Each structure stands twice: as structure tokens, then as C-alpha cells.
Amino acid sequence: MHLYPFIRPLAFALDAETAHRATIAALKWVPPHRPPNLPASLRTRVAGLDFPSPIGLAAGFDKDAEVPEQMLALGFGFVEVGTVTPRPQAGNDKPRLFRLAEDRAVINRLGFNNQGQPAAFRRLIECGPSRGIVGVNIGANKDSADRIADYVSGVRAMSRVARYLTINVSSPNTPGLRQLQDEGALRALLSAVAEARDPKGPPIFLKVAPDLGAGEPEQIVRVAIQHGIDAIIVANTTVARPALKLVSSEIQSLMFGGLGFLKFGTCLLFELPEDIQAARKWLAAVMPHIAFNDGRRLVDKRAVVTLALGARGLQRLGLPEQGLATFPFAFLDGMTTAARARILGDVDRNASERWAWGRTQPDVALLIYGDEQHFADELAQSLTDAAADLGMAKPYGIPLKMVSDGKEEPFGFVDGISQPVIRGTYKGLRKADPIHLVEPGEFILGYPDNRGNTPPGPTLPALADPDNQLPLVGAVGGFDKAVVENERDIGFNGTFLVIRQLEQDVQAFKKYCAQEARRLADRLPPPYDITDEFIAAKLIGRWKDGSSLTRYQYESRIESARRGLVQVNETVRARTSAQAAIEPGSSSTRCDKTTTTTFSPTQTPPQLGFDFFRNWRF
């Protein structure tokens, strides 16, 4: 019987790391038993070791040698424990392991979390003569002053309990570690290892990264052979990210649909301090509150943030000039240059001089949402306090107001903005009408658009990302091409966000629609019927009941149903309006601006790929 279909829902109910820990804990209860007899045809001899099967368990699953025997008993031909470092270390901050369920893959940013070599040593020695081949993968502590010394001590400490040792210089999650693959550094490392190893000790393997430059594989093999390395393990995890499926955990929740279930909110515009460290410190305080992933997963949060940064904001956070120069002009210019103002109609009565705010591009815009007003207010206050502590000015606040519970715009429409559904999002996966589906690249940077092209996003040269923290531009999986020198993608999983506060003069709108309906009444032949509502729908982008203009060209869906032209059953209608309620545009439904007297637009720039910020050391 296959257990996986039963276990999977349980495991997926937990976050990836908790599920991993729970699996190890469960395995510990399994009494050790003999590994199964594997077919003789699977036997493989490498470096003097007879492996019962070439299929083994790679390093990283059993980092602390807690269950090697249980894993061998499951039928693996060998188990590699580790990576273990000389001293215990906590690894990177959580969350640091992310499932890409659709890709059947994970993003791993663990960073050598382990209990240290002495703990693994004690466990392995207790195992007694191993029931199979257990290799030990060794690494260096992140804060080590002498990484080579760490490998040397690892060789000395773990040889006794390892059937083979792996020198791991290929983890992408310990900054700078992979530079040990560079020729000079590798020579120094492998000479020290060769000197430290016991000639009667276990064979030593070298584990390399898949993301190597032209000529590097040959160079590494040459140096490895010269220093008596017994085998090479190809390869560790890649830093390349094929842009096929959405990396939802890095995309802000707003992209998956409006946060209509968090009904209360406020928008705060901040100016960042000139001191980079202070600016980053404040961003670090905001980070835990930013809502990522599908909003349905925010159930445990009472208030969340959507963050957007402007050009100067990025600069003040330390984005190098060469990176900033790769942003589109519209973003860099903002909305107030003469050309943009003409395109956007921000002239005369609507000219920027008359705006309530936004005459200069804000550094940061925070959209704060809460399921009760006081939760939103409390979060706004705590982030404002954090800013004040760092000497930042009080933010400009634009409170959002509840319009109605009936999800209607002040104009009387179910939803004012036509909402496409992004392929690969929750809504795109669940019975979305194909007519509304668009490719992620239409909205989210780093993905192909409807024409299969990946639109250009902001980038940095490889040299500006020495620790290889950022994904590569247009990276595809595969080891056939050198990618290390590729440009880095700073926009990946980000989007551009424009915030404009508009006057909604309901009476003037209605008057205009009536006037135009009269003027155009005889322009189009039946079945067109040019009514006030027809004009309004054309302006708003939907019929009053929320139905699509593309599918209902002549009258709204409900009107069609009333006349017996289409059948509308109530559940379908209920779903349509419920969907409308969670679509991104619906966030505007709670914002009643009928009282503002001027047009007050502004632009705030993109939400960037959050890797970039996550990896800045604050």
C-alpha cells in the first residue's frame, strides 16, 4: 500500500520545515531494522566503497545524524548526514524553507542549521558498526574567521565515524562559501585537507555547486585530482530559478487578490532617513508584517502590510546607482513630469500643484489592512513609532473609509475595476473562466507575459551581488550553460504599484452619463441600447452588477437574465460578487473619496523581489 497519498495532506498542513522536523521525530520511533536486500545489479563501487545501490539520501535531510539507520532500512543505498559544522549554529532566520508545490520542489535557505560535529559524532558512534554506508558532509561555520581550519577540524573530528567524508563548498546559503571553489582558494583548502587526512581514513569527496562559470568544472576536477580527492558529488542546489511557476511565498498578497477580508486600513507615506543603516533597520521592523502569499493564508494575522518603494527610497536603502538606472523611466520620473502629466491628464484643474499629496514621489508607501480598525491602527502606530525611534519624520497618512458592506463603489457599481485572474494563482487554479486568465508576466516581474516574453525588469551586475543572493535574470535550470556571470534580477516576484487618490464626484458622474446617453442615443443600432448605465459601464469597465463587458456587450448579465436571454442561477451570481469582493480592485471599494475636492494622484514604485531585502544584513 502506498502511504504517501495519506501522509501528504498531513505534511502539507504544516509548513515545510515543521513537516521535516516532524518526519525526523517520527522516524526516531522506528526501531532500527536491517536494510532490504537490493538486487545485485544495483551494486556500485566508488572510491573503494561497495554501495548496495547508487540511489542514496543526499545531505540535508538528516543534518544531525538522527536517523541514518532508519533511512538505510527504507532502502537507500547510502545516507549522507550533515552538513555538520565544528560548532552548532542556528542557520538563517525562519521561514527559510519554501514549498513550490506545483513544481514539486522547494527553495532552501536553511544556512547549515545543525547541532555541531560533536553531537553528530556521539550519535554515529552509538550506531555502532553501521548497517550500511553513512557518509558525513562537513562544512564551515558561518561566522568562522578561518573556514579552511573548520574543514580541517571536520576531517579530523568525523573521520572515525564516516564511511566517506564530503567537503561541502557548494551551499548557496552560507555567504561566500562557494568562493572556496575558486582555483586559489580550492587549492589552499584541499592541500590543508590532504595534510589533515589519515591515509587509512575514509575516502574524501568534494561536493560542488551546479552554477559554475565557463571552464570552472575542468579547473575544479583538475585541482581535486591533484589533491587526491576520491570523487566529486555533482551537485548542490542551484541558485537559478526557472520562471515557470509562481514563487508565491515571495509575492505580496495583494497580487493574489484584494485583501477585502481585512476591511479596515490606512495608507502611510514615509520618507526614509539618509543613513542607510537606519533606513534598513526600519525596513527590518516592517518586514515581519508584510503579507506574502495567497491572502487565504493570512488567517492568523489581524493586520498586515503591503509595501512599495520609490526610486529615492531604494537609493536610501543602498541600491547601487547602476541598479536604479535599469528601472523604467516612468518609475524613475514619477507622475509629475510634463510629459507624464499630459499623458495622464494631470493638467489644469488636475495639475500636480493642486494635489493633496504626491507632488514628490514618496520613498515608501505602506498599505496597512486590519480586520478591525484598531488592529490596523495599532500596526500603523508601531511602525510609526519605530520610524520615530530612528529619527524619521511622521508619515503622511491617508485613511481609508468604509464605503458600504454591499461591496459597491460610490458610483453604485459592484466593483469599479475589471479584474483579470493571474494564471498560477489560487483563483487561476480554481475554475477560473479562461476569458479572465492572464499570464503572471503581465503583472509580476520575472515571468513570461501573454506573448511568452519575459518583460525586462530591474537588474544588477553579478559583481554587485558577490554573495550570490539574488536570482539570475531569465535563469533556466540545467547545467549546460555557465550562469554565474549572468545579471542578477532585483525585480523578481515584484510588481509596480501605482497609488492615485481620485475625487469621486458621484453627481457629476451621473449627470455626465445621462448627458452622453442622450447625445449618443441614436448612434448604434439595436441590440445596442445607449442608456445612462451603458455609458457608465463603458467608463467603469463593468456593468453595474459586476458582469463583464466582454461577455455582455449589450446589457448586463442580470438584465439579460431578466429578459430570458441567459440563465443566471443565484449561486453563480453570489459567486461572482463574492469573487469581486476579493479581487484586487475591490480594495478601492472601502475608500470613499467623495469628499475630496481635488485630484490627488501619486505614484509609488515597485514592490521588489523580496529576496533582495531579506538578504541585506541589517
At closest approach, how far in Å is the CB of 80 from ligand FMN? 7
Decide if residue 106 touches ligand FMN (CB under 6 A).
yes
Size of the site for ligand FMN (CB under 6 A): 17
The strand ranges marked E within 38-88 are 44-46, 49-51, 78-84
Please identify, among the stretches 59-67, 284-292, 293-301, 453-461, the one whose residues bind ligand FMN according to the rule CB under 6 A: 59-67
Least CB distance to ligand FMN at residue 21 (A) = 12
Residue 172: CB minimum distance to ligand FMN, A: 9
Residue ranges in 213-345 assigned as alpha helix (H): 216-226, 276-286, 311-316, 321-324, 329-333, 338-344
Tell which one of 56, 60, 310, 334 touches ligand FMN (CB under 6 A). Answer: 60
- Return the beta strands (E) in 139-261 as ranges: 164-168, 204-208, 231-234
Please give the Cα distance from 366 to 499 (Å, whole number): 11
Q: Which of residues 143-172 bind ligand FMN (CB under 6 A)?
A: 168, 171
Distances (CA, A) of 129 to 121, 124, 125, 435: 13, 9, 8, 64
Could you tell me the smallest distance in angstroms from the CB atom of residue 383 to ligand FMN? 33
Buried (b) or exposed (e) across 239-272, using 16+ Cβ within 10 A? Answer: bbbebebbbbbbbbbbbbbbbbebbbbbbbbbbb
302 within 8 A of 375, measured Cβ to Cβ: yes
Select from 144, 237, 266, 604 the one that contacts ligand FMN (CB under 6 A).
237
Least separation in angstroms between residue 42's CB and ligand FMN is: 18
Quick check: 83 binds ligand FMN (CB under 6 A)? yes
Least distance (Å) between residue 168 CB and ligand FMN? 4
Indicate whether 89 belongs to the interface with ligand FMN (CB under 6 A): no
Estimate to the nearest angstrom the gap between the alpha carbon of 610 and the chain centroid.
6
SS3 172: coil
Task: Pick between residue 135 and residue 265 the one whose CB is nearest to ligand FMN.
Answer: 135
Residues 6+ apart with CB under 8 A from 548: 418, 435, 436, 542, 557
DSSP designation for 317: T
Set of cell numbers at residue 8:
501528504
Show contacts of 380-384: CB within 8 Å, 24+ apart: 380/266, 380/268, 383/268, 383/285, 383/286, 383/289, 383/305, 384/268
Left if phi > 0, otherwise alpha if psi is -120 to 50, otherwise beta: which for 322?
Answer: alpha
Cell of 106: 522547494
Q: Between 63 and 557, whose beta carbon lies closer to ligand FMN? A: 63
Nearer to ligand FMN, 172 or 362 (CB): 172
Is residue 63 a contact point for ligand FMN (CB under 6 A)?
yes
Beta-bridged to residue 518, according to DSSP, are none
Count of other CB atoms within 10 angstroms of residue 294: 18
Between 57 and 272, whose beta carbon lies closer to ligand FMN?
A: 57
* Min CB(207)–ligand FMN separation in Å: 5
Binding segment for ligand FMN among 57-65, 334-342, 474-482, 532-540 (CB under 6 A)?
Answer: 57-65
241 binds ligand FMN (CB under 6 A): no
Annotated active-site residue 171? The verdict is yes
- Residue number closest to ligand FMN, CB atom: 60
Closer CB to ligand FMN, 238 or 382, in the complex:
238
Question: Which residue in 153, 170, 171, 600 is the catalytic one?
Answer: 171
CB of 244 to ligand FMN, least distance (A): 16
Tell me the window of 103-111, 144-152, 319-327, 408-416 that interacts with ligand FMN (CB under 6 A): 103-111
Rounded distance between C-alpha atoms, residue 555 and residue 536, angstroms = 12
> Of 207, 423, 488, 590, which lies in the binding site for ligand FMN, with binding defined by CB under 6 A?
207
> To which H or E segment does residue 552 belong?
none
Q: Which lies closer to ligand FMN via its Cβ, residue 7 or residue 524?
A: 7
Residue 236 in the binding site for ligand FMN (CB under 6 A):
yes
Q: Which range binds ligand FMN by CB under 6 A, 55-63, 294-302, 474-482, 555-563?
A: 55-63
Any contact of residue 92 with ligand FMN (CB under 6 A)?
no
Judged by CB under 6 A, does residue 407 bind ligand FMN?
no
DSSP per-residue string spanning 455-510:
----EE-GGG-TT--SPBTT--S-SSS--TTSPEESSTT-B----EE----HHHHH
Stretch that binds ligand FMN, among 66-74, 105-113, 464-472, 553-561 (CB under 6 A): 105-113
What is d(CA 523, CA 515) in angstroms, rounded to the nearest whole number? 14
Q: Is 514 a binder of ligand FMN (CB under 6 A)?
A: no
Among 11, 46, 58, 482, binds ligand FMN (CB under 6 A): 58
174 is an interface residue for ligand FMN by CB under 6 A: no
Short-list 423, 401, 450, 426, CA closest to 253: 426
What is the DSSP secondary structure assignment for residue 101, as one 8-state letter? G
97 forms part of the interface with ligand FMN (CB under 6 A): yes
Q: Which is nearer to ligand FMN, 83 or 495 (CB)?
A: 83
Any contact of residue 59 with ligand FMN (CB under 6 A)?
A: yes
Q: Which three cell numbers stand for residue 470?
A: 539574488
Q: Which stretch binds ligand FMN (CB under 6 A): 53-61, 143-151, 284-292, 595-603?
A: 53-61
CB of 336 to ligand FMN, least distance (A): 47
Binding site for ligand FMN (CB under 6 A): 58-60, 63, 82-83, 97, 106, 108, 110, 112, 137, 168, 171, 207, 236-237
> Which residues carry out catalysis?
171
